[in-house]
Amino acid sequence: MEAKQKLESLLDELSKVNKLPRLSAAARDVDRIIELLSEAREQIAGPMDPHTASLTMAKLQNPIKTAFDKVNDDLKAASSAHKKLGKALDKNFPLKQLPTDNEITESHLPMVNRAIAMHLLREGQFGVASTFIAEAQTKNPPAASPDFDEPMEEDEDDDTDADGTPGLTISTDDDDDADLSSLHSQELQDKFAEMYRILQQLKAKNLLPAIDWARQNSAELEARGSNLEFDLSKLQYVWLFKGPAVNALPDDELNGRAGALAYARAHFSRFQARHLREIQRLASAMVFAPNLAASPYHDTFSIATAFSDVATSFTREFCSLLGLSAESPLYLAVTAGALALPRLMKYMLATRSKGTEWTTAGELPFETPLPESMLFHSIFVCPVSKEQTTADNPPMVIPCGHMLAHETLQKLCKGNRFKCPYCPSEGLMRDARRVIL
């Protein structure tokens, strides 16, 4: 509640600032001065007697002075508006020292830099990425390993004229994973440039580049159990089926229902083994073409989100073939960290005031509530033993539906029977089932 109020008052301040004068007024006035001066120059340059020239100059004096004063006033007003916003920010977000002792960015700088560079590349910010990599490398040159086989000069030569792009070195040295030069940034940039080119086409409702890509990578995609190539081809069929009135493609034999049929004949045979039923549905829809909306096929042909859906799965598959997750890990880590921060701060302050310390390394003593999309590894903590289940001590579900760790269940067992610690029902050990998370 308090945070909401803070945010509201801050938005209030921001709307006030939006109304305040800004530098555009000053820029306009400077333009006016330039105009005055240019006019005067043209007059003097033209054929006229010296007397008129000096008169023109004299006439300039006052307007120019007033204009300069106005520019100064504009600048003052804009800078005071900035100061007001700064004060509002300071008031609402007072500087708080984070109660952490380990400065992760110092001890793992190369890794942090690598994560940032990777994030920029995968977000398509290629210019920013290459500047970042170049600057990170000049500020923190990777330490030369003592057992380097070749002399340094030779290595430097190789790097500088590799492809003429400063800062984007493709190094074949994979020894140090945290090193920026092992990022293969040029290769990654090329890959992501391709991804963004295809995504842009998808946004413009052109499926063909994405279909080409999926076809080129069909073996890998199929090995992953991906239906991307078929989903794209299916959408292409539906898209053509809708005809020029919807898809705005040329009204010829390659468009409309005839075009869709021709497309299906040319391309669908390769999907028959896996998607026969779906292909049959698509073909049967032809019969209902005059009134698709009332047909059993209207679902397949409603394409409100179809293009953004295939764009999402295309991004996911493209990244996974590169061995990357669909979401930027840096984005996930920072977002999850920001969500966890309030609890972490509370905990740190509490332990500091009590002088106690949590000793288990690499683990926090409290749970961080994260949205489902950020949960990757399900864990189960036995409610009786309070231990996290493992492969050796897996979670078990008992007939009443409660879950316990395997070891806990064994301890509860008397003979072959046990009594659930949460409800009075009894069960047999053989009825307990292992839960796979």
Residues at the contact surface with Zn ion, assessed by CB under 5 A: 400, 402, 420, 422-423
> Using an 8 Å Cβ cutoff, are 205 and 136 in contact?
no
Q: Helices in 46-151 by DSSP H: which ranges?
A: 50-92, 104-107, 109-122, 126-139
Nearest distance from C-beta of residue 424 to Zn ion, angstroms:
8
The edge-to-edge listing of strands for the beta sheet with 395-397 is 403-405, 395-397, 433-434
Q: Which two tokens stand for residue 14?
A: 């921001």
34/400 with CB nearer Zn ion: 400
SS3 content of the chain, % helix, strand, coil (to 5): 65, 5, 30
257/402 with CB nearer Zn ion: 402
> Using an 8 Å Cβ cutoff, are 330 and 119 in contact?
yes
- Find how far residue 148's CA is from the centre of its chain: 37
Nearest distance from C-beta of residue 203 to Zn ion, angstroms:
52
- Find how far residue 389's CA is from the centre of its chain: 33
Nearest distance from C-beta of residue 403 to Zn ion, angstroms:
9
Nearest distance from C-beta of residue 406 to Zn ion, angstroms:
16
- Residue 395: strand pairing partners: 405
303/420 with CB nearer Zn ion: 420
375/400 with CB nearer Zn ion: 400
Nearest distance from C-beta of residue 392 to Zn ion, angstroms:
24
205 SS3 class: coil
Q: How many CB atoms lie within 10 A of CB 195?
A: 19
214/405 with CB nearer Zn ion: 405
- Residue 404: strand pairing partners: 396
283/420 with CB nearer Zn ion: 420
d(CA 99, CA 344) in angstroms, rounded, equals 9
Nearest distance from C-beta of residue 409 to Zn ion, angstroms:
11
Nearest distance from C-beta of residue 387 to Zn ion, angstroms:
19
> Using an 8 Å Cβ cutoff, are 319 and 325 in contact?
yes
Q: Which two tokens stand for residue 141?
A: 């040159």
168/404 with CB nearer Zn ion: 404
286/420 with CB nearer Zn ion: 420
Q: Which residues contact 397 (CB under 8 A, 6 or more apart)?
A: 403, 432, 433, 435
Q: Which residues contact 433 (CB under 8 A, 6 or more apart)?
A: 396, 397
Nearest distance from C-beta of residue 402 to Zn ion, angstroms:
4
